[in-house]
Structure formats: structure tokens, C-alpha cells
Chains A and B, each alone.
Chain A
Amino acid sequence: MQRRLPIYLLIDSSGSMRGEPIQSVNVGLSAMLTALRQDPYALETVHLSIITFDHKITDLVPLQPLETAQVEDIELPRSGATHMGEALNHVCDCVERDVMTSTADQKGDFRPMLFVMTDGSPSDLMEFESAVKRIKGMKFSEIIACAAGPKAKTEHLQKFASQTVSLETMDSSSFATYFQWVSASIAATASGQQAGGAPEDITLPPPPAEVQVVL
């Protein structure tokens, strides 16, 4: 079987995203899907999963090939907590269940990539701390966290992310650039992953000017 490149997107859907932010995320996600489908490499290898988290976790798109993935608009609860820890644990469960590892006579999938986006901070701190430990043991090739808007706390994200970026404003143009960057990163990895080259040859495109990289 063709080696798959599993991509997990974890998106904050708590009440604070209401209004322009969540509208922009919805637009950004469908633009990302369109862009990825126009890339013959991504079309061949990428499998996408989108999970939203507020006080509960929803599998918006279960892991599936790009061609069948349909993104519905994300609906927000009126208020409530941001269960990021539970969400990270859920991603780990999904990876353990869905991603095939190599055996002696069967090639497994590529290492999955994880993108996390939030505008706040985890409200389930206990579970968050244990999820951080667990996620480090999972073989993600990249974990990219995005802190959207002024209230997002990067210090939590930096605990598990291999790269953290922040959006200063939560308007449609900064979300649009962010999702363009995400799809460019996925596409670059998709064409790179069919690789024979050394892993250092596979480099993500630099984040666009509006996105700040937190070192």
C-alpha cells in the first residue's frame, strides 16, 4: 500500500472564538483543502483529520484521504472551558488507532504531523500536563502550535510543540495567511516525504511575515 502522510489539525472551538475568528477559521480551512487538492503530491499521500475542542472534543473530519474530506463549518458553544489536555490525549488515541507502523513485511505510514491552534490556554491543566508527557512519546514528525490573538498563551504550547507561531490579530487576513502557510507546509512535506533524501532536506516553508515565530 501507498505510504500515507497523516495530518492532524486540532482547533480551539471555545466560546471566545465567536465572531470573526471562527468565521475566518472556517474560510481558512476550506481554502486549505482546496489548495491541497491542487497539489498532485499531497493528493497522493496526505490523509487529513480535523478535531475541534472546547468543553468537549469533536471529530470534525476523521482521518481520511484529501479527496473525500469535507469540512463543515465549526459551530461554537455559548461559553465553557477549553479542554486542550483532553484534546491532545484524544489525538494520541487517534494516532495509536489509525496510523500504521511498519512491520517486517508491510510498510507503515509516515510519521504524522500535528497542527494545534488556540486563542486561550488549557483549562484542564492536570490532564494537559499528562498529555504533554504522552505526546512527547508519540512519533510526530512535527508539532506546530499556533497562538491566535493577544490572549493566547505560548508558554503552554511550547511545552509540546516543535515550533510555535503566534498571530497578533484574529482577523480574517491573518487566519488566511496562517492556513496558507499550513497548506504549504503540508504540501512541502508531502512531496518531501516520498523522499530518499536525508530528513534535513525536508524543510517547511518559512512562516509568512504576519505570523511570528516564537523561539
Chain B
Amino acid sequence: MVAPFYQDHFFFEHGSFNNDMLKIRGKDKEGKWFAAPNNQFKFLDERERGNWLSYLQLCLRLSRAVRRLHAAGLAHSDLSYKNVLLSPTTGQVCIIDVDGLVVPERFPPEVVGTPDFIAPEVVASSHLEKTDPNRALPSITTDRHALAVMIYTLLLLRHPLRGRKVHAEDPGEDERLTMGREALFIEHPADASNRLSPAEAKPTELPWKDPEALPYTITGPYLKELFDRAFMEGLQAPRKRPSADEWEAALIKTVDLIQPCQNNDCAQGWYVFANTTAPQCPFCATPYTGELPILNLYSQRGDSFRPDNHRLMVYSNQSLFAWHVDRTITPNERLAVDQRSRVGYFVQHQGRWFLVNERMPALRNAQTGEDLPIGSQIELKEGLQLITGKDPGSRLFHVQMVNG
């Protein structure tokens, strides 16, 4: 017999606030605890919550796990915050209840899924017999819907389809239409009829349940594009939904856009730095002050360097990794051990920004041709261009300085 065994960090160490008034200490960290603002901010002990960077990390690991599953041709078929254990404090994820695994042609789907995560076509056809050709059943494409809902919910603590629009008087029928045939993204730019109304939210649910104050665009350009595909184009067109692989890649790039909030008391601690003239933390509204270097990543295609649509927002003590300096390297489970430690780091010293070269033997200044050996410090200035090496995948960094 094989008994499931999870690591210690998947069980509540502190539990709920007020000396664990809910008595959940020692219980497993079901995803739902972290996916609703009331659960997270009203009940959980502060030490269990993690910050916004940890949620990006959770989403990244989740996408990676689902990508592996799908790469093997398997569908989980019941992906939901009920079936993942999350450890925000360590950024670890564990997918459980894999008893619904669907292997095409071999093991047909048995479960429909967990409410909130069932794809619209499955909800809309659930009244049909299983043998009916029009009945949609769980598959890799319905997993993709569930994954998109989970990422949106974990980052924004609200459901992407659960807005104010009433579809039917009977609550059961209304639910079926809200999640099925009439499903409508609450932040659809052209159709505002399903917007959440913040006036109905409880104080602990704000700003999360106010999409005007905290729009999905705070997740940055890469995730926004995927949310648009998942909740607009792909809602009723399953094949247009982003794959787990695309989510993973977008999340990796989004982690590079993140900045620590300058307010030490900010509950979220980190945010995606927006390309605006007056950047500020969307969670606590603290404006960014000071000078911020941005590295734009280019790589060689033929004779010229082309933009990779990838930027790195610098903060003090931030690390530079192998996947930044070489576009052929991707940070995932196949990363070699020697590629996991940093190759350089950034530091602000007396108001000036420096890159310290630790493990880039062929770093050089692209304009002057000057070599920048290991151990040297390079001051970051507007327009500076650095070439990271001599390999075909080596990158060119173009430095921009932003003033907040």
C-alpha cells in the first residue's frame, strides 16, 4: 500500500489568527484558504500568508507541474484550489487527488471537476448523456481553463467570471449560466455588465473585489495577454486557451518585472512595475521614488540583436541568472545545477547603481569593446549596452534609467 505523504510545509504551522481560533493548526493547506481575501486576511495567521511574490512563485510552480502532466498526454481533469496544497511562505505547490487522471483513449474522464473551475463547455453540456457527442468532458483543454482561473484567483483573489450580472432568478440555474453558456469575464473591456460592484464587498475584501482599483493589468503585460485569451477569446473556444507552457514562460518573465514596495508595512511587499510616468504600488498606493535601472534583453538573430520582449527591473541585491545572459537556457526542472546560482548581482551604492560580475567570463561593453572581467563593477547608466558572452545564445543588455 502506498500512503500519500506531504512535506511539513503543506500543513499549517500557525493556523488562524488569535491563537488559532479556527483550530486549523496541523491541517493541510488547501488552496482555497489563500484564494479568497476573507479567508486570507480575516482568518489566517499573518505568518501563513506570504506576499505577492510568493503567489507568483506558486503560480509558476503550478504551471510547471501542469505542463509536465500535459506533456505526458495526461489531463488532471479536476484541477482546483481544493486539489492543490499551497505553501505561500515557501512558494511550494503540491497537486493532489490525481485519481481523476484522464489518459486519452485509455482512461476516460470520470469526474466533472470542481465548481468554479469547470470549463464553460462542460458546464453547458452537463445535462447531456456522457455518450452524447455534444457532451464536453474533462480534457487537457478544460485543464487549461482551470489553470487560468486558478492563476487569476491566486493573484487577484477574485473569480474571473463571478460578477454582478444576474442570468436567471433561480440560483442554481443562474450559477449554471454564469459558469457555462453565458460566462463573461468580469473585466471584459467592451462589456461591463458583469463588473463586480465594490460597494457590496466587505472591508477585508478590498481592494481585491474592486477591479477598478486593482485591475488585472497589474499582473503585467505578459499575463494580461494570456488572461485576455483565456477569459475572452478562449472562454467558448477551448483551443484558443493558453497552454501551461505559455503560462510558465509568461510567469518567468513577469518575475523579472517585479519590484519591492518601498513601504515596509505593505502587506503584499512586491508588485509588477508598470511602465507609467508615476509608478506606484497597486496594493498600498506608495509611489516609487528614486532612480530605477531597467535592462532590456536582446539576442543575436543573424547579424543583428533583436528584442526578446523581456525586461529586467533592477532592485538592490537582485540577482542575474544564467537564463538572463543566455536565451537558450530556461529556468525549469531541467536546469543544470551549475546554472542555478547567480552569475552577477545589482547593488545601489551612494545613489549609483552597479552590476557586479561574478560568473560572466566574457562580459563586455558593446560600445567601447572594453572587457568587464569577473569581479568588476559596472555602473549602470542610460544607454549602456553590455554583451554577456560569445555564445550564439548570449544576450545584449540595453540599460534604461527611469526616475520615479
Contacts and interface: CB of A to CB of B under 8 A. Distances in A.
Interface stretch (B59-67, B108-116, B313-321): B108-116
B178 A196 contact: yes
A127 to B, nearest CB: 30
B116 A194 contact: yes
Interface string B111-144: 0111110101001001100000000000000000
B88 to A, nearest CB: 14
Given A107-B166, A197-B115, 13 more contacts: A38-B27, A40-B36, A44-B36, A44-B39, A102-B169, A107-B171, A111-B172, A194-B175, A195-B116, A195-B172, A195-B179, A196-B175, A196-B176
A196 B118 contact: yes
Contacts of B170: 102
A185 B199 CA distance: 32
Interface residues of A, number: 31
Interface in A83-116: 101-111
A58 interface: no
B123 A104 contact: no
Q: Specify the main secondary structure of chain A where it touches its partner.
A: loop
A193 B36 CA distance: 16
B390 interface: no
A76 B113 CA distance: 45
A10 to B, nearest CB: 22
A4 B123 CA distance: 21
Nearest to A198: B126
Contact of A197 (B23, B126, B164, B171): B126
B24 to A, nearest CB: 5
A196 B123 contact: yes
B43 interface: yes
B174 A43 contact: no
Residues of B in contact with A, size category = 35 or more
B33 A201 contact: no
A197 B178 CA distance: 10
Given A38-B27, A196-B176, A105 B115 contact: no
A37 interface: yes
Contacts of B22: 37-38, 43
Closest 4 CB pairs of A and B: A196-B179, A195-B115, A40-B32, A196-B123
A47 to B, nearest CB: 13
A106 B166 contact: yes
Given A105-B164, A105-B166, A40 B172 contact: no
A34 B23 contact: yes
A1 B22 CA distance: 24
- B22, B42, B113, B127: most-surrounded residue (chain A CB, <10 A): B22
B175 A195 contact: yes
Nearest to B169: A102
Contacts of B123: 196-198
A34 B39 CA distance: 16
B30 interface: yes
A15 interface: no
B390 to A, nearest CB: 53
